[in-house]
């Protein structure tokens, strides 16, 4: 019986690790395009548009039931807030910051989701033990990121502001998806979200009028293709599935996995030296994830997965 109950948890953890690998790689890959001369707002907006162009035909050939016009418009608005709000500040801030700095700030999104749930009085009372594990995981991300930066300056202050805005959009957007799409976001809705994010990007372009610099080189087109096809199209399919299965707080634990994946790739694939502080950070994150996945007391009532996930209790 326990093996049956643990299977969904293991499957959820596997999806979380996979998404962490896909999104964790986005930080350095996007920066390659930016360093190659791409203007960040043009780059991210065209990436959104590419994802939308890919996703709408996929939705059509899948023969999935198409929502009403109102539902598609609502998905578009959510996409402008969440997908646009997460990635537009990220692309801009990466000009002035390291991937580790972004990882630290975005790792606050699980706690922000919990804050949004509590503020709107839509979720059960937070579980004190698991909130502590949440804080422990954030501490682990900070240690990992500082160790990777070798204790150097974290980032430009304005980049911190941009990343903070993105983290708020990720934390709040996941809660919004859980409330408005308790049965999950389908392919049509996801395509509409990419369209909404594209419109948000165009609005930013219209307001700021940056120079349309986007060199058509492999160093720019390659990262754009990765972000559009892997991070956005495939990544958000997994992210929405995690929100539906375990709630917005648990889904946003992917931000704890990102720096762990980056660390392991650096050590295993590139022969980087494993430092003691990186080991401490890794241990903190792993302990936090174990603490967050421990089952509740059998008498504790279980919250709806689409609202509170595994981090709350009644």
Question: How many angstroms from the chain centroid is the CA of residue 263?
Answer: 18
Q: Which helix (H) or strand (E) holds 202?
A: helix 187-208
**Contact between 90 and 102 (Cβ < 8 Å):** yes
Instruction: Please say if the pLDDT value at position 207 is more than 70.
Output: yes
pLDDT at 92 over 50: yes
Assess contact for 82 and 177: CB atoms under 8 A: yes
Residues 187 and 58: their CA atoms lie apart, in Å, by 7
Per-residue confidence band for 140, with pLDDT thresholds at 50, 70 and 90: confident
Question: Quick count: other Cβ atoms within 10 Å of Cβ 50?
Answer: 19
Residues 31-39: what's their mean pLDDT?
Answer: 91
Spatial separation of the C-alpha atoms in residues 103 and 216, rounded to whole Å:
28
For the chain, the domain total comes to: 1
Confidence of residue 4 (pLDDT cuts 50, 70, 90): very low
List the structure tokens of 222.
Answer: 């390659």
Confidence check: pLDDT of 308 > 50: no
Query: Which residue range(s) make up the domain with 19?
Result: 2-311
- Would you state the structure tokens that stand for residue 56, as one six-digit string? 């709408």
CA angle 113, 201, 145 (to 5 degrees): 50
2-11, 28-37, 181-190: lowest mean pLDDT where? 2-11
Q: How confident is the model at residue 306 (pLDDT cuts 50, 70, 90)?
A: very low
In whole angstroms, how far apart are CA 246 and each of 174, 175, 242?
11, 12, 6
Show contacts of 31-36: CB within 8 Å, 24+ apart. Answer: 31/94, 31/99, 32/219, 32/222, 32/223, 33/219, 33/220, 33/222, 33/223, 33/224, 34/91, 34/94, 34/95, 35/219, 36/215, 36/217, 36/219, 36/220
Is the confidence at residue 194, as pLDDT, over 60?
Answer: yes
* Lowest mean pLDDT across 98-102, 105-109, 218-222: 98-102
For 97, 179, 183, the CA distances from 302, given in Å and listed in that order, are: 41, 17, 18
Residue scoring higher pLDDT (304 or 190): 190
Closest CA to 58 of 182, 194, 173: 194
């Amino acid at each position: 019986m326990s093996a049956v109950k643990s299977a969904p948890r293991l499957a959820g953890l596997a999806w979380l690790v996979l998404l962490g690998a896909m999104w964790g790689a986005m930080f350095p890959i996007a920066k390659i395009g930016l360093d190659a001369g791409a203007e960040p707002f043009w780059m991210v907006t065209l990436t959104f548009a590419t994802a939308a162009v890919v996703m709408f035909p996929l939705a059509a050939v899948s023969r999935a039931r198409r929502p009403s016009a109102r539902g598609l418009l609502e998905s578009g608005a959510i996409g402008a807030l969440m997908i646009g709000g997460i990635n537009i500040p990220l692309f801009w801030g990466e000009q002035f910051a390291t991937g580790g700095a972004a990882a630290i700030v975005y790792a606050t999104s699980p706690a922000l989701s919990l804050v949004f749930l509590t503020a709107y009085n839509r979720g059960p009372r937070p579980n004190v033990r698991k909130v502590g594990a949440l804080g422990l995981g954030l501490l682990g991300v900070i240690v990992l990121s500082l160790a990777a930066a070798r204790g150097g300056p974290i980032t430009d202050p304005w980049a911190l502001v941009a990343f903070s805005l993105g983290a708020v959009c990720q934390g709040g957007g996941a809660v919004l998806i859980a409330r408005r799409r308790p049965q999950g976001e389908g392919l049509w809705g996801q395509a509409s979200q990419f369209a909404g994010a594209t419109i948000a990007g165009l609005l930013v372009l219209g307001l700021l009028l940056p120079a349309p610099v986007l060199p058509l080189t492999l160093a720019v087109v390659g990262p754009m293709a990765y972000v559009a096809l892997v991070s956005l199209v495939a990544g958000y399919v997994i992210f929405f599935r995690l929100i539906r299965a375990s709630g917005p707080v648990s889904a946003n634990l992917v931000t704890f996995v990102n720096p762990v994946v980056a660390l392991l790739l650096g050590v295993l694939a590139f022969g980087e030296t494993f430092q003691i502080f990186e080991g401490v950070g890794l241990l903190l994150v792993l302990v936090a994830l174990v603490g967050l996945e421990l089952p509740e007391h059998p008498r504790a009532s279980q919250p709806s997965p689409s609202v509170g996930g595994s981090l709350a209790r009644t």
